[in-house]
Amino acid sequence: MAVSGPFSFFVLESAVALIYAMYVLMRVYKKPAAPEEQKEKIVPLPDAAPMATDLDPRCQEENGEDC
């Protein structure tokens, strides 16, 4: 940094981000989309793993039911 100055860090970082953005856009537009017969419907999953509540000792109710 003593040779080129602190501003050169931001120039280099911007150049890397620009090159990466150009690469991503190139890949998005050049690669053909998957055919409809290869596509599947998205199955939503729960936010938390089912085992997480089973492992939490605070989750057990007095009557034995889960949270």
Residue 40 belongs to some domain of the structure: no
Containing domain of residue 8, as a range? Answer: 1-35
Q: Does residue 67 fall inside a structural domain?
A: no
Q: What is the pTM of this model?
A: 0.48
Residue 46 tokens, joined: 């729960």
Residue 14 has pLDDT above 90, yes or no: yes
Question: What domain count does the chain have?
Answer: 1
Tens-digit pLDDT profile for residues 31-42:
888 888 888 888
Give dist(CA 63, CA 18) in Å, integer: 59
**Residue 26 counted as domain residue:** yes
| Distance between CA atoms of residues 47 and 65, nearest Å | 21
11 inside domain: yes
Q: How confident is the model over 50-59, as pLDDT tens digits?
A: 666 666 666 6
3-class SS shares of the chain: helix, strand, coil, % to 5: 55, 0, 45
Q: Is residue 1 part of a domain?
A: yes
